[in-house]
A = this chain, B = another copy of it.
């Protein structure tokens, strides 16, 4: 079987919540095309390598994290014939959600990598190389939608978190404030969304807050409402 010349790559939309804002990991491209421009981290799929394996490898390279526990999901595939000036390159986009990292992007081999406010990038459709603006927009929209009906927000949190830290994730991703009391009610009354640890922390100031970890639920019924 002979095939047309074709490149297969994965691009990663790595999101985190820092300082109450949704941020995305971008790299500055060191080589043409789009040299010097910001882009999503990514790379070519190796022969005999599964797509998700490629994505996890890239994720580990960029974040320095052993990427096993990280939430990673496929978003979509982009294959417009002219999307890469080097030739036909089809890219499978993955969305990764990571907690606020203790070490800021250690071990990255990219020319320079940094966290950037996602909304800033989304507001400027010309900032990113290739069709990465579109990919980012699709991935962020996926994340926003999944917060509604899945416990995905916990993927942004460390293993132990408070209800208000979880609320901060929703507020950052959705970009709107939520009522702390109603949020607390919703989260704690949805079966298996979160599980209490019995311990408390005062790291958020104010009255000590209970610590929770992820529950076993996979979907939220009824969903969290984006109002």
Contacts and interface: CB of A to CB of B under 8 A. Distances in A.
Given A3-B6, A48-B81, A77-B92, 6 more contacts: A3-B5, A4-B8, A4-B46, A47-B88, A48-B88, A90-B90
Contact of A74 (B4, B77, B222): B77
Determine the main DSSP class of A at the interface with B.
Answer: loop
A81 B90 CA distance: 16
A180 interface: no
Given A3-B5, A3-B7, A50 B87 contact: no
A2 B89 CA distance: 11
Contacts of A80: 50-51
Interface string A194-224: 0000000000000000000000000000110
A31 interface: no
Contacts of A2: 5
Nearest to A222: B222
B8 A1 contact: no
Contacts of A46: 4
Which of A79, A87, A225: most chain B CB closer than 10 A?
A79
Contacts of A4: 8, 46-47
A86 interface: yes
Contacts of A86: 1
Which 6 residue pairs spanning A and B have beta carbons closest together? Answer: A51-B79, A77-B77, A48-B81, A1-B86, A3-B7, A4-B47
A3 B87 CA distance: 10
A192 to B, nearest CB: 18
A123 interface: no
A45 interface: yes
A110 interface: no
A46 B207 CA distance: 63
